[in-house]
Structures are given as structure tokens and as C-alpha cells.
Structure 1
Amino acid sequence: MSSTSRFLQGAHPFTGAGLEKFVPLEGLAPYTVPDGARAQAVYLRAGNSTGEMVVVALLRDGVVMRLFPVGARGAVHVPLRIVEDVEAPSTLELQVAAPDGLTGTVVVDLGLVEV
């Protein structure tokens, strides 16, 4: 069985709406698992340009799967040891929660394996 690497990545600006409300990252398209395939998230790297903590969330079909807090002016690398099969035609996306009105940029790199 062959596999293909897929990535959601880039530097994306945001404006916070509160730490309890996730907002899409500007310019980051969601990933939809193609028919006949499944995907697994295997790692996330993220950096935060702001002086406040933010939370990057991985959503599957609009429901939070994982939360990744990123400290002020900090970065994280999280290898995911527990991976879940995400079946087609599910959609995965990254969003961010940040203090209300906070503007900044997060740099994200979500590694997926499609099988």
C-alpha cells in the first residue's frame, strides 16, 4: 500500500475573537480526504508572532480533534503518537483562537499521510 505526504502549511495572519472562539487562518485552504483514501495527521509545527498565547486547533468536519497551545513569541513541534484514520470525504482544517482583537501571524506546518 503506497502513501502520499500532504501538508497544510504557511505563514497566516489572524485576528483573535477570544480564546474560546476559533477563527480560520487567512489564506489556508482546508484539506479534503479524497474518495477511496484515508489520512492521518502525524505532526504539527507552529510558531506564534504575538506577545500572547494562542491555540491552534485541528478540526475534522468543523469539530475540534486536537488543540495545540503556542506560547507568546514561541513555537511548538508536536509529533502525534496517537493517530486516527480520517476517512473520505472528511475535511481537515487548522484554525486559531487568540485573545479578542489580537492580530498576528502563525506559521503552521501540519504533516499528513494519505493512504
Structure 2
Amino acid sequence: MIESTPRIITGIFAFTGAGYGSPVGLAGLEAYRVPADKRSQLVYLRAGNSAAEMVSLVLLRDGKPMRLFPLGAKSGQHVPLAVVEDLFPETVLEMRIAAPEGVTGTLVLDMGLMEI
């Protein structure tokens, strides 16, 4: 049997949009690096958006967009991932947010990964 370890990334983050084409980092949210001796899989994402405009979460894998998670205005979403892909050792994941320029809000994030 393969042992797995859950990794949960959570937080509440204020943001100011720079345009849908210019995703910005979330202050206080650190990048996640897959341990050198493990693989990892993103298994779910829950997020809420307090802004009066739609935003999109942009998950970067090694600096390149891997997944987009659009969030409606003043709404939340639970995304159970039906397509789960392996993230290899030393892969770096970062979460950014794309919102219309000047739009401010708060993002509530709960993201689950499984290290195997």
C-alpha cells in the first residue's frame, strides 16, 4: 500500500486586480514545492470571491498556467477535480488571481493536495 500525506493550503487574502491578462500574486500565500522524494496531486479547490466582479484564479506550475478557476461576483465554488495529474518531484505551484484593473476584494482559499 502506498502511503499518502494530505497537504492543505488555506487562507484569506486581500487583492487588487491588474486586469484579466495580468494575474497578481496573493500577499502571504507561499508557493508549494513538491518534495524531492514525492509526487503530488491537486485533489480539490474551494474558493470564495467577495468582489462585485468575476475573478479567475490562475494556478501556475513551474511558472506556466496549469489551471484556471473562474469565480463569479460575490460567490464561492467547490471544484472536485475529475482529472487528476501527477505533479513530479520539485514541481512548484503558485496561485495568482486575475481581476479587472483596480477591483479590490477578498479571496477565501482552501486547496487540497495529496503527496504520494
Q: TM-score range by the shorter chain?
A: over 0.9
Deviations 1:46-102 (A, max 9, x none): 000110000011111111111010000000100001011001111111110000011
Aligned identity (percent) is 54
In structure 2, the gaps of 5 or more residues are: none
Of Structure 1 and Structure 2, which has the larger fraction of its residues in strand? Answer: 1
Gaps of 5+ in 1: none
Residue 14 of structure 1 corresponds to 15
| Cα deviation code 1:9-62 (max 9, x no counterpart) | 110111110011111111111110011101000111000011000001111111
Matches within 5 A, 1:9-88: 9-88=10-89
The yes-or-no answer on 1:89 pairing with 2:76 is no
The amino acid of 2:100's aligned partner reads: P
Runs of 4+ in 1 over 6 A off after TM superposition: none
2:35 is matched by which residue type in structure 1?
A: P
TM-score (norm 1): 0.97
Aligned Cα RMSD in Å?
A: 0.7
Letter in 2 for 1:22: P
Cα distance in 2 between the residues matched to 1:112 and 1:53: 25
Q: Does 1:113 align with 2:109?
A: no
Q: TM-score, normalised by structure 2?
A: 0.96
Partner letter of residue 96 of structure 2? Q
CA distance in 1 between counterparts of 2:9 and 2:26 reads: 11
SS in 2 for 1:34: coil
Counterpart Cα distance in 2 of 1:24 and 1:48: 15
